[in-house]
A and B are shown apart, each in its own frame.
Chain A
Amino acid sequence: MATSAARLPPADYGRLIGRARRVDLIFAGAGLLVMLVAMGMLMALIVDLAVDGMGRLSWDFLTSFPSRRPERAGILSAWVGTSLVMIVTAFLAVPLGVGAGLYLEEYAPKNWMTDVIEINVTNLAGVPSIIYGLLALGLFVYAFGLGETILVAGMVLALLILPVVIVATREAIRSIPQEVREGAYALGADQWQTVRMYLLPAARPGILTGTIVGLARAIGETAPVITIGALTFIAFLPPAPVQPGFPFINFEWLNSPFTLMPIQMFNWISRPQAAFHLNAAAAGLVLLVMTLLMNGLAIYIRYRIRKGMR
């Protein structure tokens, strides 16, 4: 008796399906709306930037130094500075971050001390960036006496994005299925062999993604860099890294004063003349393009790695 009462009469199926479809439609519609609003605002921002700045974009703009005259001002020192600082940041953050993440995930013993370190690492990602600036000022610039240089800028930004890289590394390694690990150990690999030959290669895409995220954040950070003393009016370039005589590469440029794109933009937008605002908009466009290029490069690298693996 009970079983027959539990059967639905056919008509009810139709009602259930109808209701489910309506709910689907509502949610899809709401999602679409929200996305349009978000995308719309973003587009509005970019279009505004483009409208203002497009006119100022030119080869001269890209290759001139800043100047008191808005129509002659350019961003050469700014984008060269940004590029160089990003290189230093990447060079410092990636090995340190991956190494630390690797240690925490594979080598650290599972005790309370490791837990404390883990908690702190994740918290560091949320620390306001200006505090990093203060730390760098006190430690690198004054205590170590390194001065307001590209090197120090790279160091402070590397510190800033270190937690991001560490967490990304850990997540990437954690997501490697246990079978790969067991397979490697069962073949007689020791821990370093397993990490080097199997875990790291498999984790590369994830690590790369994390690095992209970190660098994308760093490229726009202004507060810590200003704190350590980036200048806003630089009419010269750092020394070239290559030179004709022996040893053909020099690292003088690390010690050079510098400026960055966001700083230059901030400087221009603070001036009363409207013409400088147009410059700032144009610089903004260039910064956007630089960010996109950097992301694109990393995505391409990740794609090549994935293709090699799958």
Chain B
Amino acid sequence: MSIRQAQRSGGVEVEAREVEAPERAERLAVPMAEPKGLTQQRTQAAAAPEPRAEPAKPKVEIRNLNFWYGDFQALKDISIPVGERQVTALIGPSGCGKSTFLRCFNRMHDLYPGNRYQGEILLYPDGINLVDRRTDPMLPRLRIGMVFQKPNPFPKSIYENVAAGLRIRGVRRKSLIDDKIELALKQASLWDEVKDRLGTSAYELSGGQQQRLCIARTLAPDPEVLLLDEPTSALDPISTARIEELVDGLREQYTIVIVTHNMQQAARVSQRTAFFHLGRIVEWNDTELIFTNPKESMTQDYITGRFG
């Protein structure tokens, strides 16, 4: 029985109500504008949570970092702390500067002419400025490891790949190298799959395995910070999941910064997220807050797929 019939037999009251639903639906046709009374509500809701108190101290602190490719300024006044034993994710549309930012940490840009840094990337506990001209580019690279987007094992055996970082640092004792290789491969959850064929070429591994090999290679020399530049974008979903699981375990020991195109990955894997756009950080905060209630409308537009 329809509401109309009930209305006819019922009281007068019902008539007025029936109009409400279609009228409301019409009001809805207007796109969801900014909720009314927003600003004053925010200030009134004084119990609004601030970004949760930061961990005891950051491992790396970036202050007013600017970076130029020749004449083009790719990074503008970046200031953000990177917490110790945390995963910090960098998200943003293509070309927004997140990879550029990551490569400043270990001075990768120095390999190519015409680049200029300005500002500070301070590595604690000593507080060295990694992008200072007086700091030798090798120093950050010896303390910070990087995993690249496309797995790039050396054209050598699995053993030699993982040993690379140790040999570069002049470690010679074979027993020490063997131990470190085993540990690194276990940390990268690759040990069981390759322990019987350490002498075979790294190219015989699958894509996902090669990437884990690159992670093991980076871990072997005990870096303080791990930089992951879209580590799973070239991998299938299962390999991706395994590496995410890996990162979750690694964060107990290492400070990790990860660049990713995939927002769900950033949400899954990180504790802090920073949103980049056109060379600036638009917003950074606890991951949970960024993905449930971002402060900036641009951030919200990006993560909900309203961008571009």
Chain A residues proximal to chain B, CB less than 8 Å: 110, 177, 179-190, 193, 197-198, 201-202, 308-310
Contact = CB atoms under 8 A, between A and B. Distances in A.
Contact of A309 (B111, B169, B201): B201
B113 A188 contact: no
Nearest to A190: B138
Nearest to B136: A190
A201 B111 CA distance: 21
Interface in B97-147: 106, 108, 111, 113, 138, 141-142, 145-146
Contacts of B217: 183, 187
B138 A188 contact: yes
Interface residues of B, number: 27
Contacts of B305: none
A197 B167 contact: yes
Interface string B195-226: 00000010100000000001001100100000
Interface of B: 106, 108, 111, 113, 138, 141-142, 145-146, 148, 150, 152-156, 164-165, 167-169, 201, 203, 214, 217-218, 221
Nearest to A187: B165
Contacts of B218: 186-187
Chain A interface helix/strand/loop/mixed:
helix
Contacts of A188: 138, 141-142, 165, 168-169, 221
B149 to A, nearest CB: 9
9 contacts: A179-B152, A180-B154, A182-B148, A186-B108, A187-B145, A187-B221, A202-B155, A309-B156, A310-B201
A309 B155 contact: yes
The 5 closest A-B pairs by CB, nearest first: A179-B152, A188-B142, A188-B141, A186-B146, A309-B155
Nearest to B164: A187
A281 B229 CA distance: 65
A20 B3 CA distance: 71
A308 B139 CA distance: 32
B175 to A, nearest CB: 21
B214 A185 contact: no
B155 A180 contact: yes
B152 A180 contact: yes
A160 B237 CA distance: 56
Nearest to B155: A309
A110 B152 contact: no
Contacts, number: 65
Contacts of A187: 141, 145, 164-165, 168, 217-218, 221
A310 B152 CA distance: 13
A310 B205 CA distance: 11
Contacts of A308: 201
Contacts of A177: 152
A310 B203 contact: yes
Given A186-B106, A187-B145, 15 more contacts: A110-B113, A179-B150, A179-B152, A180-B154, A181-B111, A182-B152, A184-B164, A186-B108, A186-B145, A187-B168, A198-B154, A309-B203, A310-B155, A310-B201, A310-B203
Contact of A193 (B145, B168, B221): B168
Given A179-B150, A309-B201, A310-B201, A185 B141 contact: yes
Nearest to A110: B113
Contact of A201 (B145, B155, B214): B155
Contacts of B154: 180, 183-184, 198
Nearest to A309: B155
Contacts of B106: 186
Nearest to A181: B111
Contact of B111 (A180, A185, A193, A202): A185
A11 B148 CA distance: 51
B147 to A, nearest CB: 9
B216 to A, nearest CB: 12
Nearest to A198: B154
Nearest to B146: A186
A182 B217 CA distance: 14
A179 B148 contact: yes
Contacts of B153: 183
Contacts of A179: 148, 150, 152
A195 to B, nearest CB: 12
B141 A197 contact: no
Contacts of A197: 164, 167-168
Contacts of A180: 152, 154-155
